[in-house]
């Protein structure tokens, strides 16, 4: 069977069709992929598993995988997302349930196409439910922790007009199903913002979305930032006005409690990646909406991660756009 020149061109740029669908989706199509993604996340919480991983509330523990990719903050930057997906050859990569693509959150606000990003990540989740993990960023908690700028409601209104209010309500429900932390084998602890300053206990993460009114754990997972504090211990109030700055002793405690080597997080613009706390934290950033910063993603296979002892080792698998 001979392939047309157009089909060959599309196979060379395998993110093209998804990009076109995201750009053209009307309200019904957007809600359809949103509903399917939510159904997939509800199923995995009920079953408490996806392929090779345990799911306990807001915590995913990946125990068996072949290849791993991590995409951090996107903030409505479809250009960066589709460039990464194209480089990953996402259809091939995600067709194996043993390969995992983890998003660290902050899909929306600031950039020009938050709706396109939401459509795309929901499409990926509903089509490849065992391969895609969608985590929650602080920009996916506007109801719990109000902040500015939060321009997603206006983006939805611009795109869908009179359906905006009901669509935004459904998006907020989708946000509440997102994962709060992911543990990858005995190597990586993935969060969006930072580590809670309370006692290190993975069980606190699993129920944090239900206990956020009585506990700071969810707030700190989404908002905290690593800093050098005094002798390296403790925490201090965050300059953001929400969350806290945490020192290296807190990082040490969480790595010990989760039997991991490196914390991978987003939340702060950087030149693709940054290393903190004595090579125990790697900050990753995947969009270009902030001037003067670079975009990057991470890709490694199981054997490569098995040799990682610190963030400097892990940085070899960060790929800049």
Question: Cα–Cα distances in Å, from 102 out to 6, 159, 177, 191, 221?
Answer: 31, 27, 15, 11, 16
Q: Which residue intervals of the chain are DSSP H helices?
A: 5-12, 16-24, 27-47, 78-88, 90-94, 114-127, 152-160, 164-175, 202-206, 208-211, 217-223, 248-258, 302-306, 311-314
DSSP tag of 264: E
Q: What is the pLDDT of residues 156-185, one digit of tens each?
A: 999 999 889 999 999 999 999 999 999 999
Q: What is the pLDDT of residues 114-154, one digit of tens each?
A: 999 999 999 999 999 999 999 999 999 999 999 999 999 99
pLDDT at 14: 64
Non-local (6+) Cβ contacts of 50 within 8 A are 44, 60, 97, 129, 130, 133
- Please provide residue 115's backbone torsions phi and psi, each rounded to the nearest 5 degrees: -65, -40
255 pLDDT tier (thresholds 50, 70, 90) = very high
pLDDT at 21: 87
Q: What is the pLDDT of residues 92-118, one digit of tens each?
A: 999 999 999 999 999 999 999 999 999
Beta strands 188-190 and 225-226, pairing class: unpaired
Q: What is the pLDDT of residues 15-43, one digit of tens each?
A: 777 888 888 889 999 999 999 999 999 99
Q: What is the pLDDT of residues 284-305, one digit of tens each?
A: 999 999 988 999 999 999 999 9
pLDDT at 12: 52
- Half-sphere exposure in the Cβ direction for 195 (13 Å, CA): 33
Rounded distance, CA 39 to CA 36, Å?
Answer: 5
Predicted confidence (pLDDT) at residue 189 exceeds the cutoff of 90: yes
Question: Cα–Cα distances in Å, from 109 out to 103, 147, 315?
Answer: 16, 11, 27
CA-based radius of gyration for the chain: 19
Could you give the maximum distance between any two Cα atoms of the chain, in Å? 68
pLDDT at 7: 43
pLDDT at 150: 96
Q: Which domains does the chain have, with CATH numbers?
A: 23-320 (3.60.21.10)
**Tally: H helices and E strands in the chain:** 14, 16
pTM: 0.94
Nearest alpha carbon to residue 105 among 179, 194, 216: 179
232 pLDDT tier (thresholds 50, 70, 90) = low
């Amino acid at each position: 069977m001979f392939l047309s020149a157009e089909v060959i061109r599309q196979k060379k740029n395998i993110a093209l069709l998804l990009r076109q669908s995201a750009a053209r989706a009307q309200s019904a199509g957007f809600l359809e992929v949103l509903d399917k993604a939510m159904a997939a996340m509800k199923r995995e919480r009920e079953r408490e598993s996806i392929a090779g991983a345990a799911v306990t509330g807001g915590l995913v523990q990946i125990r068996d995988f072949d290849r791993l990719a991590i995409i951090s903050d996107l903030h409505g930057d479809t250009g960066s997302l589709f460039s990464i997906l194209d480089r990953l050859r996402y259809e091939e990569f995600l067709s194996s349930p043993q390969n995992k693509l983890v998003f660290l959150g902050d899909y929306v606000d600031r950039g020009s196409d938050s709706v396109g990003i939401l459509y795309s990540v929901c499409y990926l989740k509903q089509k490849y439910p065992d391969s895609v993990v969608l985590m929650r960023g602080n920009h996916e908690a506007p109801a719990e922790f109000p902040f500015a700028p939060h321009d997603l409601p206006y983006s939805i209104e611009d795109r869908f007009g009179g359906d905006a209010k009901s669509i935004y309500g459904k998006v907020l429900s989708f946000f509440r199903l997102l994962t709060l932390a992911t543990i990858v084998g005995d190597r990586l602890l993935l969060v969006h913002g930072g580590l809670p300053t309370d006692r290190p206990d993975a069980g606190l993460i699993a129920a944090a979305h239900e206990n956020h009114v009585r506990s700071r754990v969810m707030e700190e997972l989404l908002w905290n930032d690593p800093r050098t504090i005094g002798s390296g211990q403790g925490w201090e109030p965050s300059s953001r006005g929400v969350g806290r700055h945490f020192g290296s002793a807190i990082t040490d405690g969480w790595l010990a409690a989760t039997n991991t080597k490196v914390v991978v997080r987003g939340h702060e613009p950087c030149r693709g990646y940054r290393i903190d706390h004595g090579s125990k934290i790697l900050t990753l950033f995947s969009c270009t909406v902030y001037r003067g910063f670079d975009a990057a993603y991470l890709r490694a296979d199981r054997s490569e991660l098995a040799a990682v002892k610190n963030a400097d080792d892990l940085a070899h698998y960060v790929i800049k756009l």
